[in-house]
Amino acid sequence: MEEKCCSKCGTSVKEILETGFVGCEKCYDLPEIKNAVDKMFDGKRHPKNEK
């Protein structure tokens, strides 16, 4: 099975989840990373991003 990676920087989902470090801002667009971040922060958003 092919490892899912960021289309911009090439950082793999596995690497991000293991280290906690993303390669670029585009990494946050990966569904696996979005889900992990939502779980970590219980779905809360930064006040600047609230609408």
pLDDT (tens digit, 0 to 9) for every residue of the chain, 51 residues total? 678 999 999 999 999 999 999 999 999 999 999 998 888 887 666 667 665
- The reported pLDDT for the residue numbered 46 is 64
| Residue 5, SS3 per DSSP | strand
Identify the residue whose tokens are 């990676």. 5
* Residues 26 and 32 sit within 8 Å (Cβ to Cβ): no
